[in-house]
Amino acid sequence: DAGVIQSPRHEVTEMGQEVTLRCKPISGHNSLFWYRQTMMRGLELLIYFNNNVPIDDSGMPEDRFSAKMPNASFSTLKIQPSEPRDSAVYFCASNPSGLYGYTFGSGTRLTVV
């Protein structure tokens, strides 16, 4: 298995633009998580899905952020409009569901200028 695949690895965009981050979880993993990592706030859980259904989105910072999981093999995190304070590394992770450790993707470093 190629692991959790995220794209793009790096994204630089201008303030106000729409940004879409993509994630392909490991086949057979039923849970998918989006985290944001910054120096100030560390690793923050944004949202997680179980069997493609959003279970908890309480970590999504505001309405500018949205996430979807249309099928078991694909998820997106969208920011519209983007702001400089959204600059961070965004990780996608998956696990077989339940109380298991995560397999993380390599992350997307987002820079909003």
Partner 1 sequence: AQTVTQSQPEMSVQEAETVTLSCTYDTSESDYYLFWYKQPPSRQMILVIRQEAYKQQNATENRFSVNFQKAAKSFSLKISDSQLGDAAMYFCASLDRSFKTIFGAGTRLFVKA
Using H for helix, E for strand and C for coil, what is the string for the chain?
A: CCCCEEECCEEEECCCCCEEEEEECCCCCCEEEEEEEECCCEEEEEEEEECCEEEECCCCCCCCEEEEEEECCEEEEEECCCCHHHCEEEEEEEECCCCCCCEECCCEEEEEC
Residue (4 or 19) nearer to partner 1, CB = 4
104 is a contact residue toward partner 1 (CB under 8 A): yes
53 is a contact residue toward partner 1 (CB under 8 A): no
Compute the least distance from the CB of residue 23 to partner 1, in Å. Answer: 14
With contacts defined by CB under 8 A, name the span among 10-18, 21-29, 41-49, 80-88 that binds partner 1.
41-49
